[in-house]
Amino acid sequence: MSDRTWPYAALVAHRGGGVMAPENTLAGFREGVRYGYRAAECDVKLSADNVCFLLHDDTLDRTSDARGPAAGKTMAELACVDAGGWRGAAFAGEALPTLHQVAAWCRAQDMLLNIEIKPCPGRDEETGRRVAHEAARLWQGATIAPLLSSFSDSALRAAQAAEPQLPRAFLVETIPADWQRLLREMDCIALHCDHETLTRELAADIKAAGYQLLCYTVNSVERARELRSWGVDSVCTDRLDLLQPGKLD
């Protein structure tokens, strides 16, 4: 059972700025601040030369002007990619940021961060370890550390072994029957799940066991309020324009 408190906000901006800007970019984080958010989520993986950078997919095709697997490119190559033009001319030239750049920005803006460890195929443990080390270094001395989460239990276990003091959350679509064992083994403080798979009864069981709950991706005010009434601590949303901080409860 977790005995750590939950310092993160009730509303978390999905992939930096939800649908308000290109995902996993500093432009997205800027939108989060503009809408009054004080917590965001992003996806972090490794470049070919082991730099931690932000990208959700295994390939660059969907969210940039480049093509092919991201795992085969160095950070110098990735830095030349336009990760914003696909969302419109206003975002053209937006870069794929490194975790170092995001950490500097978040700390300057007092923005809390949920780092989803998103390994490229075959790099789960290495990514978990390197992301944890980098997060610990970049947030050294911070009052509130970033929250590490992952769908990959091997990545999360590697992060646990590398930097056990950093808070962790296990990320799932459907909550497994052995959720309590998994959270205990990985010393997690929270479970993150698809809101559509959560029931009021499951939420009550998870909270009674002493864990925090985050649900994704919640884009309705009505649904967000319902989840909060069930004891859900945070909801991750794309609709920063609809779900406004301080107006859920």
Check if 56 is active-site: yes
Token pair belonging to 92: 């053209």
Check if 100 is active-site: no
Catalytic residue among 56, 100, 192, 195: 56
Query: Tokens 């932000």 belong to which residue?
Result: 54
Q: 53-58, long-range: CB within 8 Å, 24+ apart, which pairs?
A: 53/78, 53/96, 53/97, 53/98, 53/99, 54/16, 54/24, 54/25, 54/96, 54/97, 54/98, 54/99, 54/102, 55/24, 55/96, 55/118, 56/15, 56/23, 56/24, 56/118, 58/120, 58/121
Q: What is the 3-state secondary structure (H, E, C) of 35-48?
A: CCCCEEEEEEEECC
Q: What is the dihedral of CA 83, 85, 86, 90, to 10 degrees?
A: 120
Token pair belonging to 161: 């072994």
Beta strands 52-54 and 112-117, pairing class: unpaired
Partner residues linked to 213 by β-bridges: 191
Q: Which helix (H) or strand (E) holds 205?
A: helix 200-208
| Residues with a known catalytic role | 14, 56
